[in-house]
Structure 1
Amino acid sequence: MNFQNKVNELRKKDILNFKTNYFMNKINNNALYLENDNAIICLTQDRDIYRLYFAFINLFDFENILKQLPFDKKISLEIITKGELDIALYDCVNKYIPYETTFNRMRAKCDEILNSRMYNHNEIQFATREDVNAVYDALNTVFFHHTSHLPNKKELLDLINNELVLCVKNDNKLASFIVYKPEGMQARFDQFLSIDKNIKNTMMLMDYFVSELKDKKFKTCYLWVDIVKNKPAQLMYKYYKFKSENLNSFVFSKLI
């Protein structure tokens, strides 16, 4: 099935009532599909979960498909919207896939991000190929793949080879690290993890990261932060002059 064609068909049929969470996301060849005249769902496997993408023009018909979801599969669904999620859509999805959390997108102009340059950056280094397992294990211990879109080992190794993983080590052991990706003139700040919970290391690494952004002439940097379960991180990013763009990702998950 060509999912994009069905999405386009529904959009043309009733643009005013059209809703989707699909924006050219990767879909596997063995994806599962459920559809009727006014709605379609795609379930595509991503490691041990199935990511759910939808398009519909009638909420009732969308719910009829949700009722048919397989009970034996882990399913995660994200809906990105400005401000709050439509309550009717929230209630509909929540009946079948429980609401889990909300991520908010924050952005800062790189020349405005707080940066003291007061720390000794000699302790900062780029992660190496030998660190890939330690970084991968730490990411998958602290973060959840279905909400954080964590890199697999091959993707992580590519990031390391491109010097996009900054870290601090104590006695040659990983203490904290940052993972980011360039997207043209902007940087996407993906993960920041302090393993040893050392405030000095955290501030030093963040300070160096900001210097790196400025030295590489990035115009802006953005990130997604969990505003339900990780309020301390949200406050920290505000301290560094990141501001909410009022764009939220509502996550629903059925993890059996």
Structure 2
Amino acid sequence: MKLTQPRIIQHWQKEFSHSSYSNYFTPVHQDVYAQKSAKSLVFLLPKDGFSSLYFISDDLCDLDEILQTLPPESICLEIIQKGQMPPELSNIIQKYFYQKAIYEKITLATHKLKLKTKLAKLQNILYPTEDDMEFLYQSLYQNFDKRFDHFPDKKMLLSYIQNQQILIKNSHNQIAAYLIYTLKEKTSHFNFLANLGTDSFSLIELIEQYYTKMLHSHITHIFLWVDKIKNPRVKNMHFKYGYQTSNIFNYAFIKK
């Protein structure tokens, strides 16, 4: 692999724009290590202590040959698509990667929301202050997987606090649970939910408060990703609120 400029990656990407197999879904703004053949492009995007692999290919045998030459470092791979992965692609990928998770995108039309309690009062919702930013940032690293959960950086996390996109529960003057979400027009992404204490009801209260706020904000759709293999109970809990599957999955892998 050779160190390659973003403009060259973008040029190559256009060459392969009609390729049969790809997980290319993120823009490249920095030099990356890449390898290109007549039928495939593979590059590694450096992250925090690991790299994410992206590929575009018209020929799986050709892609296989490139994957054989990957450097001995921590590499992760995500393939987002509707339904099941094509078996011929899965067979190639799993020669070099372990499957870590299958995240299912589930969606909720808020007019179908089934709340468990009465609407919470907006004035009772608690929000963190800017002084809590470092605590929340460290908590994300302690409670979630940095390889696949796509953490906000500190600047973005601070903007969430300033825009009241983080809801919290306190216990003994400390954050005991929190919920982080993002907004795009009339759609909300339910990003992170963590319970740092022992009171499981704190999570239910946060979820109900979040939905109350979304209804007051006239949000029409909500979505989240849940590990369908490891967290079936969590998935079932969300389905009771009215969620449905989108049949879109994120197949997450780590290099062997």
CA deviation after TM superposition for structure 1 residue 119, in Å: 5.3
Contact 1:102 1:249 in 2 (8 A): yes
CA deviation after TM superposition for structure 1 residue 123, in Å: 5.2
Report how many residues are paired.
249
What are the superposed Cα offsets for residues 194-229 of structure 1, whole Å, 9 maximum, x if unpaired?
A: 111423211111111000111111110011111112
TM-score by length of 2: 0.92
Contact 2:106 2:243 in 1 (8 A): yes
CA deviation after TM superposition for structure 1 residue 83, in Å: 0.9
CA deviation after TM superposition for structure 1 residue 187, in Å: 0.6
For 1:52-71, list aligned pairs within 5 A.
Answer: 52-71=53-72
The percentage of counterpart residues that share the same residue type is 22
For 1:214-253, list aligned pairs within 5 A.
Answer: 214-253=215-254
Q: Following superposition, which runs of at least 4 residues in structure 1 exceed 6 angstroms of deviation?
A: none
Q: In structure 1, how many angstroms separate the alpha carbons of the residues matched to 2:118 and 2:171?
A: 21
Contact 1:181 1:187 in 2 (8 A): yes
CA deviation after TM superposition for structure 1 residue 101, in Å: 0.8
Q: Which amino acid letter does the alignment assign opposite residue 4 of structure 1? A: Q
For 1:20-59, list aligned pairs within 5 A.
Answer: 20-23=22-25, 25-59=26-60
CA RMSD of aligned residues (A): 1.7
Contact 1:117 1:208 in 2 (8 A): no
Q: In structure 2, how many angstroms separate the alpha carbons of the residues matched to 1:249 and 1:241?
A: 21
What are the superposed Cα offsets for residues 137-187 of structure 1, whole Å, 9 maximum, x if unpaired?
A: 221111101111111222211111111011111111111111000011101
Q: In structure 2, how many angstroms separate the alpha carbons of the residues matched to 1:243 and 1:167?
A: 26
1:84 aligns to what?
A: 84
Q: In structure 1, how many angstroms separate the alpha carbons of the residues matched to 2:29 and 2:95?
A: 27
Query: Could you list the runs of 5+ residues in structure 1 that have no partner in the other structure?
Result: none
Q: In structure 2, how many angstroms separate the alpha carbons of the residues matched to 1:54 and 1:123?
A: 47
CA deviation after TM superposition for structure 1 residue 118, in Å: 5.5
Q: In structure 2, how many angstroms separate the alpha carbons of the residues matched to 1:118 and 1:212?
A: 9
Q: Which amino acid letter does the alignment assign opposite residue 9 of structure 2? A: F
CA deviation after TM superposition for structure 1 residue 239, in Å: 1.3
Q: In structure 2, how many angstroms separate the alpha carbons of the residues matched to 1:219 and 1:6?
A: 38
Residues 142, 227 of structure 1: alpha-carbon distance in 2 compared, 3 angstrom cutoff: same
Q: In structure 2, how many angstroms separate the alpha carbons of the residues matched to 1:133 and 1:254?
A: 31
CA deviation after TM superposition for structure 1 residue 235, in Å: 1.4
Q: Which amino acid letter does the alignment assign opposite residue 64 of structure 1? A: E
* Larger CA deviation: 185-194 vs 111-120: 111-120
1:5 aligns with 2:11: yes
What are the superposed Cα offsets for residues 109-153 of structure 1, whole Å, 9 maximum, x if unpaired?
A: 112222232657665311111111221222111110111111122
Query: Could you list the runs of 5+ residues in structure 2 that have no partner in the other structure?
Result: none
2:20 aligns to what?
A: 18
